[in-house]
Amino acid sequence: MNDTTTVPLSKATRDKLRRFGTKGETYDEIINRLMENDQYIAFMERQYAILSEKDKFVPLDEIE
């Protein structure tokens, strides 16, 4: 049994989505790749935010 569903999109949105894909890539694959990229970007943004707050961290060897 194929576990799929139909998601209504305007033709304009479908055409935009199609431009994100490569030849032979399904809409499901395109959407999953975009979501994975978004998760990676969000993760990296959190890491950069932590690194930019260096002054809030004290190395263990500096703690008395």
Q: Which residues contact 25 (CB under 8 A, 6 or more apart)?
A: 33
Q: Which residues contact 4 (CB under 8 A, 6 or more apart)?
A: 28
Q: Around 34, how many Cα atoms within 13 Å sit in the side-chain half-sphere?
A: 14
pLDDT at 39 over 60: yes
Sequence-ordered alpha helix ranges (H) in the chain = 11-20, 27-51
Tokens 């033709």 -> residue: 11
The more confidently predicted of residues 24 and 1 is: 24
In this prediction, residue 1 has a pLDDT band, given cuts at 50, 70 and 90, of low
Tokens 């055409």 -> residue: 15
Give the domain ranges of the chain. Answer: 28-52
Q: What's the confidence (pLDDT) of residue 63?
A: 82
